[in-house]
A and B are shown apart, each in its own frame.
Chain A
Amino acid sequence: ILNVEQSPQSLHVQEGDSTNFTCSFPSSNFYALHWYRWETAKSPEALFVMTLNGDEKKKGRISATLNTKEGYSYLYIKGSQPEDSATYLCALTDGSGNTGKLIFGQGTTLQVKP
């Protein structure tokens, strides 16, 4: 069973701080890497889906990079705002079996204090 690890487990920052999280995964059987944001009492929503080594994606103040050879992805938030407070989930599309199953990490919970 593939294992996806995220760190840190939780993070408390002040408004305006920049922060980053790590997602580690086995580089074999890689198909795609997803990042989701899950705010309390809402649905998880997709931030990025990356498939190519060296991919970099950006949406506003949030960006992500991917290294499939060494098996990691970073998510960066520049100038954190209170509305960025959420759990950030990383997930790997398992390339074996052709089912497209997503295997999730345990998440990083971010709290941004005003």
Chain B
Amino acid sequence: EAGVAQSPRYKIIEKRQSVAFWCNPISGHATLYWYQQILGQGPKLLIQFQNNGVVDDSQLPKDRFSAERLKGVDSTLKIQPAKLEDSAVYLCATRGDRGLAGELFFGEGSRLTVL
């Protein structure tokens, strides 16, 4: 079974520029998450999708971050304009059909550096 694919792996941009991250989940996994992991902190949930609907985006900074999941499969996370404090690893994760106690399957992450 193919895992969760993310791209790009690394991105360096200047502040106020924009960036987009892409996630291709495991086939059939309906629930998809984007997490932000800042160095020294635990991953923080940005947005959760169930198929192509948003379940939770309470911690997404909506003035600069946006995310979509077209047709309930691939997802993109965009930051525009980026700030220095957005430097982090952006993790995409999906969950299968084991209900709320099911484990998450993660991609390798996209590491963003904002200069």
A contacts, CB < 8 Å to B? 4, 6, 31-32, 34, 36, 41-46, 49, 51, 89, 91, 93, 95, 97-107
Contact = CB atoms under 8 A, between A and B. Distances in A.
Given A41-B108, A44-B106, A93 B42 contact: no
Contacts of A41: 108
Contacts of B40: 106
A21 B95 CA distance: 26
Contact of B45 (A51, A95, A97, A102): A102
B13 to A, nearest CB: 21
A106 B41 contact: yes
Given A101-B45, A105-B42, A106-B40, A46 B56 contact: no
Contacts of A32: 100-101
A43 B3 contact: yes
Contacts of A34: 103-104
6 contacts: A31-B101, A46-B104, A49-B101, A98-B100, A100-B99, A102-B45
